[in-house]
Homo-oligomer: A and B are copies of this chain.
Amino acid sequence: MNGKITIRDVAKHAGVSPAAVSYVLNGINKVSDETKQRILKAVKDLEYEPNLTAVSLSKRKSNVIAVMFPLVNDSLVTMFKDNHYQSEMISGIEYVLRKNGYDLLISGVQSPSECMKWIRKRNVDGLLFLGVFPNRLYEEMKALSKPIVLVDTYDKYERYFNHITMNDEEGGHQATKHLIDLGHSAIGFIAHRMTNSPIDYKRFIGYEKALKAAGIKPCKSHVFEALDSSFENGYRMGKELLSRPHSMSAFFASSDTLALGIMKALQEEGKRIPEDYSIVGFDDLTFSSYATPSLTTVRQDVFNKGSVAATAIIQAIENDTTALQHIRLSTELIHRESTAKKKG
């Protein structure tokens, strides 16, 4: 039951050499149809499963993809917390890899050398980087011979790696246009951080373009930086927004968590959403639809993003075309209860 049936056993059972079995299993057309059938039967009979460790050693290919997360405080937790985002992405990745006979290794990494280790130690066939890593890591990775796919990273490295991003500019545009269409013209944009975050910057560009297209002059005093994307910071921003006189009637926040925090602060100050203020988020977290009012947001299909990333890396591994893939996925505006026609 717990036996270790090897290729030898199968060979013996079929009255052939191990080599013949290997040929059949690898689809190498070197064996007569008759013996092939005999071998296949032996495989079935013995419930033979090739030992992938041995295969890996021999072929120098492991069929393992490593998914790398940046480490914060030496653990993945900050990455994962607050966000079903990463988990849904993993689901997408796992799905595609499983369907294609690859296995999924997960690890947090901090230094480039750690990645090297993965390649050397585990012989992984490809690396998937989720999120933003220290710059030097990318620098060193350039030299790597294994396929790499970056998800959600700086364009800066476009020239060196495959990568998958969302169309953040489009998303920013959708959110802003939605508010404009509802009659809002003084629209605040709350970024996570503007400098140093190409993602937020893209969303900002979309925001600006939508305003201009509607003949509204963007106003610097309507743009804010929350400094991180936590609920707490959104809450603080919300309080701050109300603490000064302003003309804004709508806010577009660069993440749902931020938007939810803002919303809570405004409500606490006695403001009604969407009657007094309309709010749009970005991401479409599960809980955004549970909030009161439910949050209008720019949705990313994260499962899909994971699938696409996995598909890309498999392609990069299996086709040895050197062409890098740059895939930009679309966003979608989800209209819920937190936005409404401007009063008056």
Contacts and interface: CB of A to CB of B under 8 A. Distances in A.
B121 A51 contact: yes
A1 B287 CA distance: 47
Given A49-B120, A103-B107, A292-B264, A80 B84 contact: yes
A45 to B, nearest CB: 16
Interface stretch (A36-44, A52-60, A193-201, A328-336): A52-60
Interface in A258-296: 260-261, 264, 267, 286-287, 289-292
Given A56-B53, A84-B81, A104-B105, A94 B121 contact: no
Contacts of A83: 84, 87
B303 A290 contact: no
Interface stretch (A8-16, A70-78, A157-165): A70-78
Contact of A76 (B49, B75, B91, B291): B91
A95 interface: yes
Nearest to A286: B82
Contacts of A104: 105-107
Interface in A228-272: 231, 257, 260-261, 264, 267
Contacts of A144: 2
Interface string A98-118: 100001111110000000110
A62 B51 contact: no
A289 B81 CA distance: 13
A86 interface: yes
Contacts of A2: 143-145
A95 B121 contact: no
A80 B87 contact: yes
Contacts of A84: 80-84, 87
Number of copies: 2
A281 to B, nearest CB: 12
Interface in A132-151: 143-145
A326 interface: no
Given A2-B145, A231-B290, A303 B88 contact: no
A174 interface: no
Contact of A90 (B95, B106, B257, B264): B106
A88 B77 contact: yes
Given A54-B57, A57-B57, A76-B90, 20 more contacts: A1-B143, A49-B121, A53-B62, A53-B123, A76-B91, A76-B95, A77-B95, A77-B303, A80-B91, A81-B84, A81-B88, A84-B87, A98-B107, A105-B106, A106-B106, A231-B289, A231-B290, A261-B290, A267-B292, A292-B292
Interface of A: 1-2, 4, 49-54, 56-57, 62, 64, 74-77, 79-84, 86-88, 90-92, 94-95, 98, 103-108, 116-117, 120-123, 143-145, 231, 257, 260-261, 264, 267, 286-287, 289-292, 303
